[in-house]
């Protein structure tokens, strides 16, 4: 049977089209249809203790492609083997990895920041040694009119209030700079998130503090406070950036999200991680 060149070309193009469509998943939602590239890419890494020993049976959640919103497929959840190794399928080159095991604090990384070391994905989990975990508070606060904050009473207060531990102000010369002052002999310090530093992986307050900080607020900053009465706290502050009447960008202190924990007993213990409760990202396995 004779097959002309046009037929061969048409069949070839049709085959390419079918192959291309085979790696697409149509995700239906109530409002739209989205196409998500779902290749056969896999990601592999190792979960270790801070002593560099493999952790067997750790839960690992890998989020990639569409992380959230309607129609999101959710994270791929796997467990590590006896060598602490995990392997999971990913939907794109953008990913977030979270790892946790009972008795350890959650830790993780993403494709853009401190995930691979020497071309190998390696995440360390910190063993929780204390059962005295502090509650974590997460709320929005208006610091526009009253700009003091008291960790003892857990709310915004006037900056002249005796309960005020810190004061939030905008820099007079730069509306994107935040000035945070400690009151009455207290102190403040800060650190940027890094490979093994985040809110739950800073269980001990530092020793050295300044009277105030004038900083360009980074969303992944963690602050430590030594209060005027000798107690300790840590917090993250996330104000919104808006524009003033002239179109200039300015930090909006009227609705600032603050995540914080307070230690009232005078010790430097700032443990906030739960040793038994899985993080939210693992909710789907419960």
Local confidence band at 259 (pLDDT 50, 70, 90 cut-offs): very high
Distance, in Å, from the CA atom of 120 to the CA atom of 118, rounded to the nearest integer, reads 5
First to last CA, the chain: 61
pLDDT over 50 (residue 38): no
95 shares a domain with 47 = yes
237 shares a domain with 162 = yes
Lowest mean pLDDT across 75-79, 97-101, 192-196 = 192-196
- Predicted pLDDT of residue 120: 79
- Predicted pLDDT of residue 33: 30
- Predicted pLDDT of residue 280: 81
| 282 domain-assigned | no
Which CATH number belongs to the domain containing residue 62 in this structure? 2.60.40.10
- Predicted pLDDT of residue 131: 73
Local confidence band at 28 (pLDDT 50, 70, 90 cut-offs): very low
Distance, in Å, from the CA atom of 258 to the CA atom of 171, rounded to the nearest integer, reads 19
For the chain, what percent of residues have pLDDT higher than 90?
53
82 shares a domain with 29 = no
Higher pLDDT, 51 or 247: 51
| 207 domain-assigned | yes
Lowest mean pLDDT across 47-61, 245-259, 272-286 = 272-286
**Average model confidence (pLDDT) across the chain:** 83
54 shares a domain with 17 = no
Secondary structure of residue 37 in the 3-state scheme: strand
The DSSP bridge pattern shows strands 232-243 and 221-226 to be antiparallel
> Whose structure tokens read 């524009």?
243
Higher pLDDT, 258 or 218: 258
pLDDT over 50 (residue 261): yes
What is the separation of C-alpha 89 from the centre of its chain, rounded to a whole number of angstroms?
A: 22
Lowest mean pLDDT across 66-80, 117-131, 155-169, 204-218 = 66-80
Total domain count for the chain? 3
The rounded radius of gyration (Å) of the Cα atoms in the chain is 25
* Total count of residues recorded for the chain: 286
Local confidence band at 17 (pLDDT 50, 70, 90 cut-offs): low
- Predicted pLDDT of residue 276: 83
Could you report the per-residue pLDDT of 193-208, keeping only the tens digit for each?
887 889 999 999 999 9
Q: How many CB atoms lie within 10 A of CB 130?
A: 11
pLDDT over 80 (residue 188): yes
249 shares a domain with 228 = yes
Q: Which domain holds residue 218?
A: 137-263
Higher pLDDT, 24 or 111: 111
* Bridge partner list, 178: 170, 215
Could you report the per-residue pLDDT of 44-70, keeping only the tens digit for each?
999 999 999 999 999 999 988 765 555
Using alpha carbons only, give the angle 132, 185, 225 rounded to the nearest 5 degrees: 35
29 shares a domain with 88 = no
Q: For the residues 234-257, what does the mean pLDDT come to? A: 89
145 shares a domain with 190 = yes
- Predicted pLDDT of residue 207: 95
| 146 domain-assigned | yes
Instruction: Decide which of 86, 102, 129 is a domain's last residue.
Output: 129
Q: How many CB atoms lie within 10 A of CB 59?
A: 21
153 shares a domain with 258 = yes
pLDDT over 50 (residue 3): no
- Predicted pLDDT of residue 245: 79
| 270 domain-assigned | no
| 225 domain-assigned | yes
Yes or no: say if 10 and 18 are a contact pair by the CB < 8 Å rule: no
Is the CA virtual torsion 87, 196, 241, 143 positive or negative? positive
Give the helix ranges, DSSP H, for the chain: 5-21
| 273 domain-assigned | no
120 shares a domain with 79 = yes
């Amino acid at each position: 049977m004779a097959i002309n060149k046009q037929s061969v070309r048409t069949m070839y193009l049709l085959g390419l089209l079918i192959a291309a469509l085979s790696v697409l998943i149509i995700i239906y939602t109530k409002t739209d249809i989205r196409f998500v590239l779902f290749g056969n890419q896999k990601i592999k890494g190792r979960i270790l203790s801070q002593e560099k020993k493999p952790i067997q049976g750790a839960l690992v959640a890998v989020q990639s492609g569409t992380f959230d919103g309607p129609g999101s497929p959710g994270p791929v959840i796997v467990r590590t083997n006896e060598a602490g190794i995990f392997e999971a399928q990913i939907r794109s080159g953008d990913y977030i990895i979270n790892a946790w095991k009972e008795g350890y604090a959650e830790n993780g990384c993403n494709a853009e920041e401190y995930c691979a070391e020497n071309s190998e994905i390696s995440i360390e989990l910190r063993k929780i040694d204390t059962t005295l975990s502090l509650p974590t508070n997460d709320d929005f606060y208006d610091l526009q009119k009253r700009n003091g904050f008291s960790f003892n009473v857990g709310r915004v207060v006037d900056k002249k209030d005796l309960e005020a531990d810190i004061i939030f102000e905008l820099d007079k010369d730069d509306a994107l700079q935040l000035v945070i002052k400690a009151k009455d002999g207290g102190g403040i310090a800060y650190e940027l998130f890094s490979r093994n530093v985040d809110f739950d992986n800073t269980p001990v307050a530092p020793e050295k503090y300044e009277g105030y900080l004038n900083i360009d607020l980074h969303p992944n900053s963690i602050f430590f406070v030594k209060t005027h009465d000798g107690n300790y706290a840590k917090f993250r502050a996330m104000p919104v950036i808006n524009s003033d009447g002239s179109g200039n960008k300015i930090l909006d202190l009227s609705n600032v999200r603050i995540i914080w924990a307070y230690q009232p007993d005078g010790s430097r213990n700032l443990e906030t991680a739960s040793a038994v409760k899985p993080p939210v990202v693992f909710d789907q396995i419960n």
